[in-house]
Amino acid sequence: MSILNNIHNYYESLVIECLSELTEGQAHEDDFLIDVVCVALNHLPPRYIRHEVDMIYYLSPVEAQEMRDKIKSATKDAMAYVEEARQRE
């Protein structure tokens, strides 16, 4: 087993969750959603962890809220960026 299988970026699932909330009830192609996730993640600092609980345990409520705010902002900006880029094509 590769040790890299045990490491992931904490923001990945949170960005996907945020995008799901922002696009609820809307139809989007998978390529659009994937592009948005990639752009959003590239605008957030990497937070590599082994277990979700590792991150949750060490975050204060204020830090957790700041993180959620940054994720929402990065995801909204990424959606606008990808939509604009697709319109230019």
Rounded to whole angstroms, the Cα distance separating 48 from 58 reads: 14
Find the domain containing 46 and state its range: 3-88
- 1 pLDDT band, cuts 50/70/90, is low
**What are the contacts of 81-85 at 24+ separation with CB within 8 A?**
81/39, 82/32, 82/35, 82/36, 82/39, 83/32
In tens, the pLDDT along 73-89 reads 999 999 999 999 999 88
Rounded to whole angstroms, the Cα distance separating 25 from 89 reads: 26
Our count of domains for the chain comes to 1
At residue 2, the pLDDT reads: 79
In tens, the pLDDT along 9-66 reads 999 999 999 999 999 999 999 999 999 999 999 999 998 888 877 777 788 889 989 9
In degrees, rounded to 5, the angle at the alpha carbon of residue 35 between the alpha carbons of residues 30 and 40 is: 130
Give this prediction's pTM.
0.87
DSSP one-letter string for 14-73: HHHHHHHHHTTT----HHHHHHHHHHHHHTS---EES-HHHHHHH--HHHHHHHHHHHHH
